[in-house]
Structure 1
Amino acid sequence: MQKKNVSFENSDSKSLKGVLELPFNENPENFVLFAHCFTCNKNFHAPSNISKSLASKGYGVLRFDFTGLGDSEGDFEDTNFTGNVNDLVAAAKFLEKEYSAPTLIIGHSLGGAAALFAALKIDSVQAIVTINAPSNLSHVQKHFESNLDEIENEGSANIKIGGRSFKIKKHFIEDLKRNEDSKALGEIRKPLLIMHSPQDEIVSIKHAEELYQSAWHPKSFITLNGADHMLSNKSDSEYAGTVISAWASKYISEREASELDTDHQVMANLGSEGFTTQIIAGKHHFVADEPVKVGGNDLGPDPYELISSGLAACTSMTIQMYARRKKWPLVNVETHVSYSKKHADDCENCENDMAKIDNFEREISLHGDLDKEQINKLLEIADKCPVHKTLSSKAQIHTKLTEN
């Protein structure tokens, strides 16, 4: 996938910082807006992992820091729930101007409530997803329940959430109360997916039930069994991303995307960042990549692993093809290949003592009731593999530049 740092202004001219996750071809069919949880930021596990999971399935996902949080401008103490909703609207306008308007909005925890409110103001949004979200805004006051009197009398109070200190002002609570009276959920006529963990100790599963009962069809509920409120376990957030992708495909329309095409047998396409490369081989699409240690994302085999795969596959096919023609009882054949560079002192025919040669170690495992003569013949046949012959010969590569 490709990741881009972006910034845009909200309605108060504050600069908000975000991360745009894009699929490897940088041409998503749909854009998604992600609202993080109360006092969280774009780099928390849930927004980061879910965004990456969706990007791997072809979506473009914008996650950003609300005003006063993370890298965004502003003071948290001057923000409120309405401000978060307005930030989401500003993010949607940014996507529409620079890329394409979002068709899906996702919100985690209080961000789920903000997503519901924002969906009423963003016409392009066709579907909504909430994750461990409260059914009422007053629930957030549990974070600072013991400070409510101080906030009421003094106008503000310093509270601690997740080991971090935040100042909550009276206007924040007043804004929650004003929005609590809104019947936003009853006004929404867009598909809604409610995801919630029965083990959520911050926002109980009861909230998911209340959201579901209040929502209009089409509505869906999917459990995040075993997950905590923050989706701290990577597998939980990646699972959520996979499920969201499958669910959303039923409800959001795909925009026309430019298809990659080639007149050759194989084509490799790589954007301006990273090494995750889209491969088209005949009718087949897959990705190649480099290991993380050399700057890749390890989302697919590296180029030499692809060469080794070709040798291994061709060897197994050639052996099995011969055995079938001879009607020999070869049940299964495994070909294991490793690639390395060897120094010239390991090479009897190398002219340059400093040279290195390409070396493929191939091990073949034959399963079946074969006699020794049959086994020896099949090992001999392995060298007849066309890819083996290509790698053993001096191939020619002709390169030319094509017009865009």
Structure 2
Amino acid sequence: MTQIPAAVQKKITVLNQHNEKLVGVLHDTGSTEMVVLCHGFKSSKDFNTIVNLAVALEKEGISAFRFDFPGNGESEGSFQYGNYHGEADDLHSVVEYFNGANRKVMAILGHSKGGGVVLLYASKYHDVHTVINLSARYILEKGIARRLGEDFLEIIKKDGFIDVKNRAGY
């Protein structure tokens, strides 16, 4: 049985298109091929599911990078509800960073809202051919109106996001 060397975890900061710092943790197994992990709604790179996925990948000798979207965890920027397009662009900044650092992002994996982000990413950018959607919602209207108000879709269409931190009832 071949022993896989232990991964080294390194904190890495990537600048997005708005010069906001996206903070993440690279689980470096020494492999130049890697998977980027995307967290869900109001979550972070330190959510158990994301950490466990990174550890499972490193046990297989696969490098992984888990990071915080803007306004989540340690990353700069404002938290925004419904900002799938912006988060797909943030993910693109991460992919470009690693591809430019002599690594190859072979897959992107998103959990919950991150699953929606990776699907949108795949439809917009065509540079990562393996896309894994883990438990993403596909009908966003159901259940959200009671938390965000009946006008939430109109606000998202108009502004591109909803401010849930300052929204009554959330």
The match for 1:33 among 15, 33, 36 is 36
TM-score by length of 1: 0.36
User: In the alignment, what sits opposite 2:146?
Assistant: 145
User: In the alignment, what sits opposite 2:130?
Assistant: 127
Aligned length: 157
**CA–CA separation in structure 2 for the residues paired with 1:36 and 1:54:** 16
CA separation of 1:149 and 1:124: change in aligned 2, threshold 3 A? closer
Give the residue type in structure 1 aligned to 2:146. Answer: E
CA distances 1:114-164 after superposition (whole Å, capped 9, x unpaired): 10111234433121111111224445xx245243147669x99875xxxxx
Q: Once superposed, what is the RMSD of the aligned Cα atoms? A: 2.7
- Is the CA contact 1:116–1:128 (under 8 Å) kept in the aligned structure 2? yes
Counterpart check, 1:20 vs 2:19: no
Higher relative contact order (CA 8 A, sep 6+): 2
* Poorly superposed stretches of 4+, deviation over 2 Å: 120-124, 135-139, 142-147, 149-153, 155-159
**CA–CA separation in structure 2 for the residues paired with 1:32 and 1:157:** 29
**CA–CA separation in structure 2 for the residues paired with 1:117 and 1:157:** 18
Residues 1-400 of structure 1 mapped to structure 2, 5 A cutoff: 1-23=7-29, 26=30, 28-77=31-80, 80-139=83-142, 142-143=143-144, 145-149=146-150, 166-167=165-166
- Is the CA contact 1:101–1:124 (under 8 Å) kept in the aligned structure 2? no
More helix by share: 1
Q: Which has the larger radius of gyration?
A: 1
CA distances 1:377-403 after superposition (whole Å, capped 9, x unpaired): xxxxxxxxxxxxxxxxxxxxxxxxxxx
Q: What is the CA-CA distance between 1:70 and the residue it aligns to?
A: 0.7
Q: What is the CA-CA distance between 1:65 and the residue it aligns to?
A: 0.4
TM-score by length of 2: 0.80
CA separation of 1:148 and 1:93: change in aligned 2, threshold 3 A? same
- Name stretches of at least 5 consecutive residues in structure 1 with no aligned partner: 160-165, 169-404
Q: Percent identity?
A: 26
